[in-house]
Amino acid sequence: MVADNDTQTTEFFLLGLSRDPELQTLTFGLFLSMYLTTILGNLLIILAVSSDLHLHTPMYFFLSNLSFIDICFTSTTVPKILFNIQAQSRVITFQGCLSQLYFFVLFLGMDNLLLSIMAYDRFVAICHPLHYTVIMNPRLCGQLLLVSWIMSALNSLLHSLMVLRLSFCTDLEIPHFFCELNQVIALACSDTFINSLAMYLGAGLWGAVPLTGILYSYTKIVASIRSISSAQGKVKAFSTCASHLSVVSLSYCTAVGVYLSSAITEKSSSSATASVMYTVVMPMLNPFIYSLRNKDIKRALNAFSEMAARKVPNVLGLKRQP
């Protein structure tokens, strides 16, 4: 902790969701169960896609990358929450806070860009089906993913470097369960105009541009589906993007709800509770949404589970004798 602006900041204090000791065990159990569910669900999606040759397509390539991003995204915040509750500590070092901030912004940006790319993939598949394999070739898919990583990394690095230029006073309590960018900036004693400007411009850019691309893609998709003559064809075309549309709707509605709640109410605890939705709950729900509404994923998961069931006895030395 620091005494004034000239002293180097070494620690912050995460106030978390509640200071009630009776709720700490409940909070620990909830976060641990949601975290394990998120890891297991998204890992199963990745393994199912990688093990089934029929799923080696652009749509499932981006889906497996989205699952990987969701694992990394939730791992940025939840392990620290669990450690602090278990150790009965609220301390996070300045380096740890900066690292958490960097990776949180990185994976949040990647999540938005991947959802936009997946919308474009569905647009090409439905509106230009004859040219789909030519347009969405492996090289383009790799380039889209690489550009997304570079853009997200540069954006995250910019915000992290701008936090380094700030000086902090004696009040180093963050009314949140992780080092969110706006909460860290609010603790600074130095001028934060440039940081706030970059933060709001970045949020607008990284929110509006991918959303515009998604809306444009689905406008064309809806128009294309309406031109299909048979009802069965319409249902089949819509079913290919229903899961993605559900994830997009939940993601953006949750994000808008979080920031509207933080703008309307002055209670930081309310904002922190609302943030649980998009930092923990959404990464947990994504694999369920994609697996429950997708026959190909269900089939791949069943095949993978059968393959794993056959290999387990062999690994344990219980192979049946002929």
User: Please, what's the b/e burial string for 128-146 (b: 16 or more CB within 10 A of its CB; e: otherwise)?
Assistant: eeeebeeebeeeebeebbe
What residues contact 44, with CB distance under 8 A and at least 6 apart?
287, 291, 301, 304
Local confidence band at 279 (pLDDT 50, 70, 90 cut-offs): confident
pLDDT band at residue 322 using 50, 70 and 90 as cut-offs: very low
Domains of the chain, by residue range, sit at: 11-293
On whether the CB atoms of residues 112 and 247 are closer than 8 A, the answer is no
* Cα torsion 309, 315, 318, 321: sign: positive
pLDDT at 319 over 70: no
Residue 220, pLDDT > 90, answer: yes
Q: What's the pLDDT score for residue 264?
A: 58
Dihedral angle of Cα 288, 294, 295, 297, to the nearest 10 degrees: -60
Per-residue pLDDT reduced to its tens digit, 284-299: 988 888 877 677 787 7
pLDDT of 269? 58
CA distance 48 to 60: 10
**106: pLDDT strictly greater than 90:** yes
Instruction: State yes or no: pLDDT of 6 exceeds 50.
Output: no
Asked if residue 194 has pLDDT above 60, the reply is yes
pTM: 0.88
Q: Is the pLDDT of residue 192 over 80?
A: yes
Percentage above 90 pLDDT, the chain: 43
Segment 131-186, tens digit of pLDDT: 999 999 999 999 999 999 999 999 999 999 999 989 887 778 888 889 989 889 98
What superfamily in CATH does domain 11-293 come from? Rhodopsin 7-helix transmembrane proteins (1.20.1070.10)
Distance CA 310, CA 13 (A): 49
Task: Give the tens place of pLDDT for each residue, 50-104.
Answer: 988 888 999 999 999 999 999 999 999 999 999 988 888 889 999 999 999 999 9
Highest mean pLDDT: which of 140-144, 235-239, 279-283?
140-144
Q: What confidence score (pLDDT) does residue 88 get?
A: 86
Q: What is the pLDDT of residue 115?
A: 94
User: What is the DSSP code string of 283-306?
Assistant: HHHHHHHHHHT-HHHHHHHHHHHH
Rounded Cα gap, residues 273 and 113, in angstroms:
25
For the chain, give the percent of residues with pLDDT over 70.
88
Give me 24's structure tokens: 């700490």
The mean per-residue pLDDT over the stretch 223-241 comes to 83
- Mean pLDDT, residues 8-17 taken together: 80
Please give the mean pLDDT across all residues of the chain: 85
